[in-house]
Amino acid sequence: MGRSAYPYEILSRETVEAYVRSRPDLVDRLEPGPISVRDVADGNMNSVFVVRTAQSRPGLVIKQALPWVRVHGEGWPMTPERAVSEDRGLRVFREIAPEATPELYGFDRERYAIAMEDLGNLRVWRDALNAGEANEWAAASMGRFVARIAFHTSELGMDAAACRSLRQEAVNDVLCRITEDLVLTEPFIEHEHNRHHPGIGELVDEVRSDGRLLEEVAHLKHIFMTHGEALIHGDLHTGSVMAGPGRAVAIDPEFCFYGPVGFDLGALWANFVISSARARVLRRPAEFQVAVDGMLAASWQAFCDELRSLWPTGADPFFRPRYVERYLRTVFSEALGFAGAKATRRMIGYAHVADIETLEDPQRATASGAVLRVARRLILEREQLASPREAWDLVDEELAELGPAVRR
């Protein structure tokens, strides 16, 4: 099917300049001079272009939702309405956590194109981690970000009527189904979307035939589908974070919806486990490994500190200080479970990650297997894990075969 067959203009590197020039509100944001456009898309779903005049200075970013899944091609149609969710997420999160959200310059509803801040001075956190640059402080920034959106978009911090109305408005059916399928179902069954390293076939069979594990994943899926606690980011892996001097920013909230808060933390934690596996097989320097191994605890501590400090300002005084501790315990154990599901999907589901894919064998096989074992145990043992320390001890046990332990 030709691209003109779609009911809206699909932007390309060649047409973005004319598009930007047709929008005085955008051109006015650029320094005078010839415009250059770079196609920087590296996520699974969308087109992303950086538009600049002066190369050394930030310009702006145009992100367009394609009517298909970018990495798959036109054979996997996908609603561009996801850009409406992303626009909503950016607007809401920017109000609540401006330092951790890109500035929005405008949403072109007809083209499903969002114009936003050029974060060119920052780097995709996954890429930085893969190159051996930890930016470990970003873990606390993201923990704080998750706490702020958890509080300020839920009945904890928001007027109940306004919250109920945002909950209705923010339904994101198609993208939730992607997560329900690709993260919380398909990796755990035989499915044509799945692939895994041939060296871990036996382990994969064990995962898919473990009845208790499947029941736990069903429970996590049910939580995901029914616990509309807050407007969560919905896809907060390390590729959805840009980090650099003094700032960490959560990008790409197209999956945002009212869901369980632990899902966002779990997405981060799954990727910390994967980063740690990579660091160990590559024998990264001790300080890098220590930094990565401390990220789960740092993000959790920042999340707890922020929530505890916001709690007294809450919307409903009946939620007394004692209740925050119970709330935190639930979020912690759900986050561990979701981390397990998210790590599993990266090893044996549809969308894999460069952290592992760029390793050579045999490290690629051993790292995939070790992450999968961690993932399984996080799902099964999450109720017994009372602290980040206990959770990371479990990670250490399973990743031990990848490289010598580095003292914390």
Which C-beta is closer to Mg ion: that of 82 or that of 364?
82
- What is the rounded CA–CA span in Å between residue 266 and residue 303? 12
- What is the rounded CA–CA span in Å between residue 124 and residue 60? 16
Per partner kind, with CB cut-offs from 5 to 8 A, the member of Mg ion, ligand SR1, none near residue 178 is: ligand SR1
252 part of the interface to Mg ion, by CB under 5 A? yes
Q: Which of 43, 187, 228, 294 binds Mg ion (CB under 5 A)?
A: 43
- DSSP one-letter code for 313: G
Measured from the CB of residue 254, what is the shortest distance to ligand SR1 in angstroms?
Answer: 8
Residues listed for the chain: 408
Stretch binding ligand SR1 (CB under 6 A), from 174-182, 280-288, 304-312, 356-364: 174-182
Q: Which two tokens stand for residue 18?
A: 């004319």
- What is the rounded CA–CA span in Å between residue 206 and residue 4? 47
All residues at 6 or more sequence positions from 302 whose CB lies less than 8 Å from its CB, including other chains = 139, 140, 141, 142, 143, 144, 147
- Residue 7 burial (10 A CB sphere; 0-12, 13-18, 19+): exposed
* Number of residues near ligand SR1 (by CB under 6 A): 11
65 part of the interface to ligand SR1, by CB under 6 A? no
Which C-beta is closer to ligand SR1: that of 85 or that of 154?
85
All residues at 6 or more sequence positions from 277 whose CB lies less than 8 Å from its CB, including other chains = 355, 356, 367, 370, 371, 399, 402
Per partner kind, with CB cut-offs from 5 to 8 A, the member of ligand SR1, Mg ion, none near residue 241 is: none
Phi and psi of 261, rounded to 5°?
-60, -35
Binding mask 351-380 for ligand SR1 (x = CB under 6 A): x-----------------------------
182 part of the interface to ligand SR1, by CB under 6 A? yes
Q: Which of 12, 44, 53, 79 binds ligand SR1 (CB under 6 A)?
A: 44
DSSP codes, 244-258: ETTEEEE--GGG-EE
- DSSP one-letter code for 370: H
Per partner kind, with CB cut-offs from 5 to 8 A, the member of Mg ion, ligand SR1, none near residue 351 is: ligand SR1
Which C-beta is closer to Mg ion: that of 65 or that of 307?
65
Stretch binding Mg ion (CB under 5 A), from 72-80, 159-167, 244-252, 369-377: 244-252
80 part of the interface to ligand SR1, by CB under 6 A? no
3-class DSSP state of 163: helix
In the chain, count of helices (H) and strands (E)?
A: 16, 12
69 part of the interface to ligand SR1, by CB under 6 A? yes
235 part of the interface to ligand SR1, by CB under 6 A? yes
128 part of the interface to ligand SR1, by CB under 6 A? no
3-class DSSP state of 61: strand
Which C-beta is closer to ligand SR1: that of 179 or that of 276?
179
In the complex, the residues that contact Mg ion under the rule CB under 5 A are 43, 252
In the complex, the residues that contact ligand SR1 under the rule CB under 6 A are 43-45, 69, 178-179, 182-183, 235, 350-351
